[in-house]
Amino acid sequence: MKLIVANHKMNLTLPEVLDYKHKIEEINTSKIKLVICPSYPYLVELNSNNYYLGSQNVGILDNGALTGEISAKQLSFLHVSYVIVGHSERRTILKENNSDIQKKIEHVLKTGMHVILCIGENQEEKDKGKTKKVLKENLEILKNISANQLGKVIIAYEPIWAIGTGVIPTNDEIYEITEYIKNLIYDKYDVDIKVLYGGSVSPDNIVELEKIRNIDGYLIGGSSLNPKKMSDIINKVR
Ligand code: 13P
């Protein structure tokens, strides 16, 4: 069963998100696992039986003095099941580093929620042929995680140059990178990890993306804000 994750980023007002919920609840989600990651203030309102709730981020501390942040434990009490960690926008714009991301992953796993760890190369790294090197370094973040805990970790391969640009890798490229990630994890931990593709996924390219045999789902930004586009994508996913 494919995992479809909607990352709303910093979008939608309260009236818009309530309308969104109403429309998303009408979609038949029986053939997929749908996760909606709204902005923090809407997590309570968006709780639903038709999909899982996800968070776009989590704080680096267990609890205490960290103004403006939310802990993994607090999220788990809001029925959140999935937490996105290490999104490229947080790494590049907010300067989040690997040590921060490691702490976040540990806190999330302690609560029993799933981690969606985002990794991906930028345009310059791609042009220099460094994609696999970058991904391998990104995956070092998992070095302190046990094989058992890895069962709750999902990797989202999001080439930074494909996010919000309408440009996506070829199917062969996505297949090769997904296989590379899965093999790295399998060789090291003996675990079959799930890998999502993210970056400009839309109703226009989903049929083509669905021809890739080894991806386990999608992490969707822009298109996920539109219930009609979400419905189109979900209906085309096998
Ligand atoms: P887009 O689908 O808008 O390219 O965003 C992808 C993304 O960053 C999801 O986390």
Q: Which residues line ligand 1 (CB under 6 A)?
A: 7, 87, 158, 163-164, 198-201, 219-223
Q: How confident is the model at residue 40 (pLDDT cuts 50, 70, 90)?
A: very high
Q: How far is the CA of 149 from the centre of ligand 1 (A)?
A: 26
| Residue (of 166, 170, 178) closest to 135 by Cα position | 178
Clarify whether 87 is annotated catalytic.
Answer: yes
Name 124's Cβ contacts closer than 8 Å, sequence gap at least 6: none
Which of 84, 154, 220, 230 most suits a substitution to test ligand 1, by most atoms within 8 Å of the C-beta?
Answer: 220
Catalytic residue among 87, 107, 121, 125: 87
User: pLDDT tens digit string along 47-98?
Assistant: 999 999 999 999 999 999 999 999 999 999 999 999 999 999 999 999 999 9
Question: Of 3.40.140.10, 3.40.109.10, 3.20.20.70, 3.40.430.10, which CATH number belongs to 2-55+121-236?
Answer: 3.20.20.70
pLDDT at 113: 98
Q: How confident is the model at residue 31 (pLDDT cuts 50, 70, 90)?
A: very high
Ligand 1 atom at shortest distance from the alpha carbon of 198: 6
pLDDT at 121: 98
User: pLDDT tens digit string along 98-125?
Assistant: 999 999 999 999 999 999 999 999 999 9
How far is the CA of 123 from the CAs of 68, 102, 159, 168, 174, in angstroms? 32, 25, 8, 12, 15
Q: How far apart are CA 98 and CA 126, in angstroms?
A: 20
Alpha helices in 153-205 (DSSP H): 171-189
Catalytic residue among 89, 96, 125, 158: 158
Name 163's Cβ contacts closer than 8 Å, sequence gap at least 6: 88, 89, 198, 199, 200, 221
Average pLDDT over residues 223-233: 98
